[in-house]
Amino acid sequence: MKTKIIISTIVFITMTVVLAPSLFGQNTTKSLEECIQSAIDNNLTMKSGRISIERAKDLQGTAFNIDKTSFSLSQDPTSGGSPDNSISLSQSFEFPTVYGSRRGLLKAETNLERSNLDVTRNELVKEISATYYQLLYAKENIKILQEQDRIYGKFLFLANAKLKSGETGRLEQMNAERLYNENRIELQKAEKNYQSIQLILQRWMNTDEAVEPVEPTLTVLDAVYPFNDFNPEQTPLGEVYANKKIISEKNLSVIKQGYLPSFNFALKNQFLIKGFNPYDLQRERFDKGNFMGFEVGISVPLFFGEQRAKTKAAKREVEIARVQQEEVMLTMRKNYQTYLNEYTKAKNALDYYSLRGSKQAEDITRISQVSYEKGEIDYVEYIQNLKTAVEIHLLYANAINDYNQTIIMLNYLQGNK
Average pLDDT per run of 10 along the chain, which is 417 residues long?
41 42 64 93 93 93 84 66 68 85 93 95 95 96 90 83 79 86 93 95 91 91 76 93 95 87 77 55 52 75 85 94 95 93 93 84 85 81 84 92 95 84
pLDDT at residue number 323: 96
Sheet arrangement for strand 262-270:
70-75, 85-93, 262-270, 291-299
Amino acid letter, 96: P
pLDDT at residue number 167: 74
- Label residue 324 exposed, middle or buried (CB < 10 Å: 0-12, 13-18, 19+): middle
Summarize pLDDT for 312-332 with one digit per residue, the tens: 999 999 999 999 999 999 999
Selection from 34, 191, 215, 28 nearest residue 128 by Cα = 34
> Contact 101/305 with Cβ under 8 angstroms?
no
Domain 95-259+304-412 class in CATH: mainly alpha
Q: What pTM was computed for the model? A: 0.79
> Contact 257/311 with Cβ under 8 angstroms?
no
Extents of the domains making up the chain: 68-92+262-299, 95-259+304-412
pLDDT at residue number 20: 42
pLDDT at residue number 11: 42
